[in-house]
Amino acid sequence: MEHKKKVILYTGAGLLFGISFLFMLYFGKETFYVEGTESTAKTYDYHFALITEETGNAYWQEIEQSAKATAAEHNIYLESTGPRKANPDEVLRTMDQMIAAKVDGIITQGLPGPRFLDLVHKANEHNIPVVTVDSDMPESERTAYIGTDNFDSGYLAGEELIRETTGEQVVGIITGNVESLNQQQRMEGFEEAIKNVDRIQVVDIRESNITEVGAAQVTYSMMKQHSDINALFGTSALDGVGMVQGVEEITVWERPYMIAFDILPETIHLLEEGKLDAVIAQYPDKMGTKAVETMIDLQHKDYVEPLQHTKTEVIREADELEDSL
């Protein structure tokens, strides 16, 4: 009898332990389950890296959004990264890290200097194609450039100033970063367009550090120093908005003729209000889409054009922009 009681007791304890163990397994799984574990992780065909000039820049965000959308359509993981504020050294370090991570392709802007050339060469040695967007570095071994013809876009701005103004034009140029290849090329194109026009001269060039506040500050200080400036050209995306702010802080007899760059919403709003006279429109969303499509072609060993210029045009009124889209 005593033996039978012990058997029943041990059996009950065993059942209780078993039930408790099963509950522990179930609720432990629910508590510690992490989405994206190996059993549920999504499998992608390729892994591309997009390294932007700076993550908070609206222009680069357009490139990123379109690139990610295109990547998603083709089952590609697009890793987008970049410095919070423009920092070429950080871009180069990130590029080196992506090579070490053995990504399938790198999309980034062309940068001046031997370090970029070395990294593109290193990427090629590891069979990682590099596609440049926004600004090119043709001296490198990059596979393709996709973006604006920056010299031509600056030339368009110079032609617009010639066509839409009369009399002497004293010009101040606001540029995002004097070290950026695309900014240099835009200024070169602008100066090439006006070089034989005696009534137009550039008297000052200042750097905005690719911020609205910076553009406003240097516009204000430039016009305080050169009271005869009656035309302004901004070469980067946030310069136009900053130029308007800087001019509005100064009492001037007549607002200078102003040409901005890039069709960001706030820039177009200022164009509609008549506070900007013209905008050089480029289409960063097309750059992002085409860059990913080109990288896919490269994975398939297809031939790609090494130079793929996206659309650039002068917009004088918002309805012109609507017609062009």
Q: How many CA atoms lie within 13 A of 301 on its CB side?
A: 0
Query: What are the residues whose beta carbons fall under 8 Å from the beta carbon of 8, sequence distance 6 or more?
Result: none
Q: The tokens of 287 are what? A: 């750059």
Closest to 215 (Cα-Cα) out of 177, 242, 236: 242
Number of H helices, E strands in the chain: 11, 12
Residue 154 Cα distances to 30, 42, 149, 151, 311, angstroms: 59, 44, 9, 5, 14
Q: How far apart are CA 154 and CA 136, in angstroms?
A: 15
Strands (E) in 123-268, as ranges, are 130-133, 144-147, 169-175, 200-207, 231-234, 257-261
Q: How far apart are CA 272 and CA 259, in angstroms?
A: 13
Instruction: Name residue, tokens 């591309």.
Output: 48
The per-residue pLDDT for range 82-124, each reduced to its tens digit, is: 999 989 999 999 999 999 999 999 999 999 999 999 999 999 9
Reported pTM: 0.81
Residue 98 Cα distances to 29, 47, 49, 135, angstroms: 34, 10, 7, 20
| pLDDT attached to residue 302 | 95
In this structure, are residues 170 and 240 in contact, taking their beta carbons and an 8 Å threshold?
Answer: no
Which helix (DSSP H) or strand (DSSP E) does residue 49 occupy?
strand 46-51
A 10 A CB-CB count for 139 gives 12
With the C-alpha atoms ordered 263, 266, 267, 271, is the resulting torsion angle positive or negative? positive
Q: How far apart are CA 38 and CA 53, in angstroms?
A: 33
Q: The tokens of 192 are what? A: 């090439």
Q: How far apart are CA 121 and CA 124, in angstroms?
A: 5
Q: Which domains, ranges and CATH numbers included, belong to the chain?
A: 46-148+285-311 (3.40.50.2300), 150-281 (3.40.50.2300)
SS (H, E, C) 52-90: CCCCCCHHHHHHHHHHHHHHHHCCEEEEEECCCCCCHHH
Q: How far apart are CA 135 and CA 282, in angstroms?
A: 13
Q: How many residues does the chain have?
A: 325
Q: How far apart are CA 216 and CA 242, in angstroms?
A: 4
Per-residue pLDDT of the chain (325 residues; tens, 9 = 90+): 555 554 455 555 555 555 554 544 444 433 333 333 344 468 999 999 999 999 988 899 999 999 999 999 999 999 999 999 989 999 999 999 999 999 999 999 999 999 999 999 999 999 999 999 999 999 999 999 999 999 999 999 999 999 999 999 999 999 999 988 999 999 999 999 999 999 999 999 999 999 999 999 999 999 999 999 999 999 999 999 999 999 999 877 789 999 999 999 999 999 999 999 999 999 999 999 999 999 999 999 999 999 999 999 999 975 565 555 5
Burial of 9 (0-12, 13-18, 19+ CB in 10 A): exposed
The per-residue pLDDT for range 34-89, each reduced to its tens digit, is: 333 344 468 999 999 999 999 988 899 999 999 999 999 999 999 999 999 989 99
In this structure, are residues 205 and 178 in contact, taking their beta carbons and an 8 Å threshold?
Answer: yes
Q: How far apart are CA 212 and CA 233, in angstroms?
A: 14
